[in-house]
């Protein structure tokens, strides 16, 4: 009698959940977990915050969903929900787990003692976010240190984050890049609701928070002599003085349109923009920037270690000093063919370096290694999987 190996069971904790509606973490989880189920026959459970999902189906494209309620709170929501998810996770017999966000690291000791081997996904320098006060910043520094102590594996989606953990905590990490959007573009007609013309507007997609520098981008845009409006997509989960300041900038030229949650419409906004302006400062590999690159958009970004890593030598990077971005945009206004060339170069780079199939293959390998008490590799790049087809666990 033949024996069929048991499916590898993986838990995902720390985010709002899937389907993705609330930012880059959720998009990452949806892209990877759905592929782990479909291409590798993993049994994946994602813990979701119930208040974000009025309709709570038990599964999403084969991924099992567990809904746990928690009070909405700017500082405690994620930590409390992850704590409740962790307690539930301990009794489910998972083979491996992935914890999202170093801010949730206080849950790692419990997982390390009583739960499955757990990887911690470290996506950025949370302690540097301008929205946090002294106490919150100190907490993020402490939680990073906890993640370096207690996570079985620390995963960085940017090489800059690998260096950060090595330099500050002496901790080796595993590099697995992020993936970029790969299709599903609405037609130009879907832009009519924004009263814009394809190719004739600038775009920002962001959470309206200080470390994303939306105020700086607006100031630089306003220096231009242009008829192209600036469309700002996004908002603040918890309204603040800064978010109200940005909303007060709204006029005929600067249009703050709020969140756009239909993927095809959002992708169309990227694809048909004249240029995408990127001001994120402290995150790791940023999904909004990758989405713009995948759409073939001319991306103009404030130069940080992370944006330089993602965009490479061909990237259109500018300084934080006054006039740097506006000078670049003035040049692109005068030479639109150069904007198109920048966009084409970024699209080619995204298609080679940031592929969801390669990202998923790397995570499958990391989860297998943890479940087998092995140490996973340190660097996974898309070229490592260029000729590899998915290997379902049941065939191992």
How many Cβ atoms are within 10 Å of 240's Cβ, its own excluded?
Answer: 15
In this predicted structure, what is the pLDDT of residue 126?
58
In this predicted structure, what is the pLDDT of residue 189?
96
Give the tens place of pLDDT for each residue, 87-100: 999 999 999 999 99
Domain end residue (candidates: 337, 352, 367): 352
In this predicted structure, what is the pLDDT of residue 357?
92
Question: For 96, which DSSP code?
Answer: E
Q: Does residue 135 sit in the same domain as residue 148? A: yes
Give the tens place of pLDDT for each residue, 21-53: 777 788 899 999 999 999 999 999 999 999 989
- Cα 96 from Cα 89, distance rounded (Å): 10
Q: Does residue 165 sit in the same domain as residue 78? A: yes
Q: Averaged over 329-334, what is the pLDDT?
A: 98
Positive or negative CA dihedral for 18, 20, 22, 25? positive
Lowest mean pLDDT among 5-9, 39-43, 119-123, 244-248: 5-9
Q: Does residue 218 sit in the same domain as residue 280? A: yes
- Residue 2 counted as domain residue: no
- Report helix, strand and coil shares of the chain as percent, to nearest 5: 45, 15, 40
- Residue 336 counted as domain residue: yes
In this predicted structure, what is the pLDDT of residue 130?
62
Contacts with 115 (C-beta within 8 Å, 6 or more apart), sequence order? 86, 89, 90, 94, 97
Residue 168 has pLDDT above 80, yes or no: yes
Q: What is the mean pLDDT of the chain?
A: 89
Domain end residue (candidates: 319, 336, 352): 352
- Cα 267 from Cα 27, distance rounded (Å): 13
Count up the domains in the chain and report the number: 2
Q: Does residue 146 sit in the same domain as residue 16? A: yes
- Residue 56 counted as domain residue: yes
Residue 127 has pLDDT above 60, yes or no: no
Q: pLDDT-based confidence at 396, cuts 50/70/90?
A: very low
- Residue 3 counted as domain residue: no
CA distances from 74 to 137, 185, 193 (A): 14, 33, 32
Q: Does residue 161 sit in the same domain as residue 310? A: no
- Residue 1 counted as domain residue: no
Q: Are 297 and 198 in contact (CB under 8 A)?
A: no
- Residue 4 counted as domain residue: no
Task: Give me the percent of the chain exceeding a pLDDT of 90.
Answer: 68
Give the tens place of pLDDT for each residue, 134-154: 787 788 888 899 999 999 999
Q: pLDDT-based confidence at 386, cuts 50/70/90?
A: low
In this predicted structure, what is the pLDDT of residue 124?
59
- Residue 328 counted as domain residue: yes
Q: Does residue 21 sit in the same domain as residue 105? A: yes
Q: Does residue 210 sit in the same domain as residue 223? A: yes
Q: Does residue 376 sit in the same domain as residue 251? A: no
Whether the pTM exceeds 0.95: the reply is no
Range of the domain at 135: 9-179+355-395
Q: Does residue 214 sit in the same domain as residue 160? A: no
Q: Does residue 313 sit in the same domain as residue 331? A: yes
Q: Does residue 141 sit in the same domain as residue 86? A: yes
We report the CATH number of the domain holding residue 381 as 3.40.50.2000
- Residue 157 counted as domain residue: yes
Q: Does residue 82 sit in the same domain as residue 160? A: yes
In this predicted structure, what is the pLDDT of residue 2?
46
Give the tens place of pLDDT for each residue, 215-247: 999 999 999 999 999 999 988 776 788 889 999
């Amino acid at each position: 009698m033949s024996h069929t190996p048991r499916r590898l069971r993986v838990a995902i904790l720390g985010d709002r959940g899937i389907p993705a509606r609330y930012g880059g973490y959720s998009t990452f989880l949806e892209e990877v977990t759905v592929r782990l189920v479909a291409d590798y026959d993993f049994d994946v459970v994602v813990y979701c915050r119930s208040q974000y999902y009025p309709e709570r189906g038990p599964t999403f494209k084969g991924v099992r969903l567990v809904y746990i309620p928690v009070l909405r709170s700017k500082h405690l929501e994620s930590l409390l929900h992850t704590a409740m998810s962790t307690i539930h996770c301990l009794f489910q017999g998972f083979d491996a787990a992935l914890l999202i966000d170093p801010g949730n690291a206080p849950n790692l000791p419990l997982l390390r003692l009583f739960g499955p081997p757990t990887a911690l996904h470290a996506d950025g320098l949370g302690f540097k976010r301008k929205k946090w006060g002294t106490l919150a910043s100190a907490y993020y520094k402490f939680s990073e240190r906890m993640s370096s102590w207690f996570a079985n594996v620390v995963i960085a989606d940017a090489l800059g984050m690998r260096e950060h953990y090595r330099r500050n905590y002496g901790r080796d990490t595993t590099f697995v890049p992020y993936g970029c959007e790969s299709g599903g573009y609405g037609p130009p007609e879907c832009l009519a609701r924004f009263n814009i013309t394809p190719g004739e507007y600038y775009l920002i997609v962001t959470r309206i928070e200080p470390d994303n520098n939306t105020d700086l981008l607006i100031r630089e845009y306003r220096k231009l002599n242009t008829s192209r409006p600036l469309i700002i997509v996004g908002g603040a989960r918890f309204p603040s003085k800064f978010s109200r300041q940005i909303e007060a900038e709204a006029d005929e030229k600067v249009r703050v349109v709020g969140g756009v949650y239909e993927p095809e419409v959002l992708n169309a906004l990227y694809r048909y923009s004249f240029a995408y302006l990127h001001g994120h400062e402290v995150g790791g590999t940023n999904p909004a920037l990758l989405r713009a690159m995948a759409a073939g958009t001319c991306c103009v970004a404030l130069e940080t270690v992370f944006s330089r890593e993602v965009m490479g030598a061909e990237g259109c990077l500018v300084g934080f000093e006054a006039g740097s971005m506006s000078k670049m945009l003035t040049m692109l206004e005068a030479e639109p063919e150069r904007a198109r060339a920048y966009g084409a170069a970024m699209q080619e780079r995204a298609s080679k370096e940031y592929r969801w199939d390669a990202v998923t293959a790397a995570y499958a390998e990391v989860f297998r290694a943890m479940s087998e008490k092995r140490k996973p590799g340190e660097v996974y790049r898309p070229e490592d999987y260029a000729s590899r087809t998915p290997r379902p666990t049941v065939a191992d």
